[in-house]
Amino acid sequence: MEKVWLGEMEYRQALEIQLDHVERRARGKIPDTLLLVIHPHVYTLGRGGHESNLLVSSDLLRKEGIPVERVSRGGDITYHGPGQLVGYPIVLLAQPDVHRYVRALESVLIDAIGRFGVPGRSVSGLTGVWTGEKKIASIGIAIRRRVTYHGFALNVNTDLSYFRRIHLCGLKGKKPTSMSEFLGKPVAMEPIRDAIGEECWRQLGGLA
């Protein structure tokens, strides 16, 4: 799997890059690819998301220059922003088994953050990765022509106050956490990128 670091990039620009990669992967022009990126502040609503889970007015967000994007992934509302690592695996699946793929992404993240002393776990009936009772990573995916896109968002050094403006992933009362909050210190992003890249290569290759 090829790993591509996009740096900091607006959400819509990264989505265009994803869709281009999806089409080229479906035609066999490129290998499976992991796009990694950090987005400026943005809230995204999945295709089944409810606007009622956004707890502040759109006027306030407009004044702050924070967009709200309705997108094609599964899941409800989430936040992306500085200090959060977002990954978009572009993977051609042998069988478009959404459940199996999502569980594989959870495993990738659990094993990656575990290398840094942060315990992650999956929760039956919920999507994403949890540390204790708090959510540390969200997952929302889509599949087109048997190729995956969208993906995961891992809170590394994220300012968690932005999550107070939403019901996280549509779950009332659930709170977020980050690697830096759990460890009590800032976390370097590059080693996390490397660990996730290695785990994606190891665990997602078997789905092709």
The residue type at 178: S
Q: Exposed, middle or buried, 63 (CB in 10 Å: 0-12/13-18/19+)?
A: exposed
Strands 84-90 and 147-155: antiparallel
Of 103, 109, 101, which is closest to residue 199 (Cα–Cα)?
109
Query: β-strand 68-70 against 42-45: which pairing, if any?
Result: parallel
Q: What is the DSSP secondary structure assignment for residue 40, as one 8-state letter?
A: P
Phi, psi of 103 (to 5 degrees): -65, -35
Active-site residue, 200 included? no
Integer-rounded Cα Rg, in Å, for the chain is 16
C-alpha to C-alpha distance for 9 and 112, rounded to whole angstroms? 23
The two beta strands, 42-45 and 77-80, are antiparallel
Q: Of 15, 169, 192, 195, which residue is the catalytic one?
A: 169
Hey, what are 162's tokens? 């932005």
Residues classed as catalytic:
169
